């Protein structure tokens, strides 16, 4: 089953709006800087909104260490300047796109994303938040893009013993996933490295029946066209067999690997 054009996917036009924070904490979060790896405009390459011109705000910092992470500068070795929410908003306004993708790293780690998403939504932007679903924050967004990490993501135990333990402890947070899919319009993207990973996806969904299978996408693991093409040959019929959506990584096809694409 392939991914439809965004116009064929129903995503509510209104963002989830959490209860307003009337304490001084909201102002404090607004002033607290956030490390940003990069801000750039490109076409969304994955999921329901594939092909949509978007401004990507990549937050630097992550609570996981995926073996196949393709943005190590935002996870394994986080980098980038510290920017306040106001500074981020000013940089975003330099781009014409009206869709925002807040990504990482893991943006939901940081309390500053709550006022950031509120201000973006108030200014009329469509906001997508990309997360592994391990941390909850009451952000305002129109699409919660959740990529739960399967066992194939765990780093090598001998090379990274501390992160092997921490990654395994943190990667699966079912209560967070339940809350996110209950409160937000969402898509679920699983990274598939081997055919047997799909069996793990099925076990995952049986344990979380709240997840609508029509919102589940399977995405091949890989960072170059050749690797992705090879995996697509067996992943596409598996998606058809199981009734999942196939999620190509179109940005790699369009632009190749690299930052700011």
Q: Give per-residue pLDDT as tens, 72-122.
A: 999 999 999 999 999 999 999 999 999 999 999 999 999 999 999 999 999
Taking the C-alpha atoms of residue 62 and residue 134, their distance in angstroms, rounded to an integer, is 10
Q: Give per-residue pLDDT as tens, 143-152.
A: 999 999 999 9
Q: Give per-residue pLDDT as tens, 3-23.
A: 444 434 444 445 666 655 555
In this structure, what DSSP letter does residue 2 have?
B
pTM: 0.89
Instruction: For residue 32, give every residue at least 6 positions away whose Cβ sits within 8 Å of its Cβ, in sequence order, or none.
Output: 84, 111, 112
DSSP characters for 24-67? THHHHHHHS-EEEEEEEEEE--SSTTTT-EEEEEEE---S---T
User: Considering only CA atoms, which of 75, 59, 79 is closest in space to residue 67?
Assistant: 75
Q: Tell me: domain 17-255, CATH 3.30.70.20, correct?
A: no
User: Considering only CA atoms, which of 182, 143, 126, 180 is closest in space to residue 11?
Assistant: 143
User: Considering only CA atoms, which of 75, 57, 58 is closest in space to residue 66?
Assistant: 75
Exposure string for 35-48, b = 16+ CB within 10 A, e = fewer = bbbbbeebbbbbbb
Taking the C-alpha atoms of residue 150 and residue 163, their distance in angstroms, rounded to an integer, is 15
Instruction: For residue 161, give every residue at least 6 positions away whose Cβ sits within 8 Å of its Cβ, in sequence order, or none.
Output: none
Delimit the domains of the chain by residue range: 17-255
Average of per-residue pLDDT across 35-58: 97
Taking the C-alpha atoms of residue 27 and residue 52, their distance in angstroms, rounded to an integer, is 32
């Amino acid at each position: 089953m392939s991914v439809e054009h965004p116009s064929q996917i129903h995503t509510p036009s209104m963002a989830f709006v959490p209860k307003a924070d009337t304490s001084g904490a909201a102002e404090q979060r607004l002033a607290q800087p956030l490390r940003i790896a990069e801000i750039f405009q490109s076409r969304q390459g994955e999921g329901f909104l594939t092909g949509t011109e978007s401004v990507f705000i990549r937050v630097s910092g992550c609570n996981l260490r995926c073996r196949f992470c393709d943005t190590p500068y935002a996870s394994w070795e986080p980098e980038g300047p510290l920017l306040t929410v106001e500074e981020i908003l000013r940089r975003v306004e330099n781009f014409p796109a009206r869709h925002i993708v807040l990504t990482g790293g893991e943006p939901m780690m940081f309390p500053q994303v709550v006022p950031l998403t509120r201000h973006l939504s108030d200014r009329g932007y469509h906001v997508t938040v990309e997360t592994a679903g391990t941390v909850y924050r009451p952000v305002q967004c129109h699409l919660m893009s959740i990529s739960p990490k399967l066992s194939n993501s765990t780093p090598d135990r001998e090379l990274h013993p501390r992160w092997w333990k921490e990654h395994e402890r943190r990667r699966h947070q079912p209560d967070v996933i339940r809350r996110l899919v209950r409160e937000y319009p969402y898509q679920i993207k699983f990274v598939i490295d081997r055919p047997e990973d799909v069996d793990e996806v099925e076990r995952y969904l049986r344990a979380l029946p709240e997840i609508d299978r029509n919102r589940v996408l399977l995405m091949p693991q890989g960072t170059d066209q050749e690797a992705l093409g090879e995996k697509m040959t067996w992943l596409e019929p598996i998606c058809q067999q199981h009734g999942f959506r196939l999620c190509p990584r179109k940005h790699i096809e369009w632009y190749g690997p690299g930052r700011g694409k």
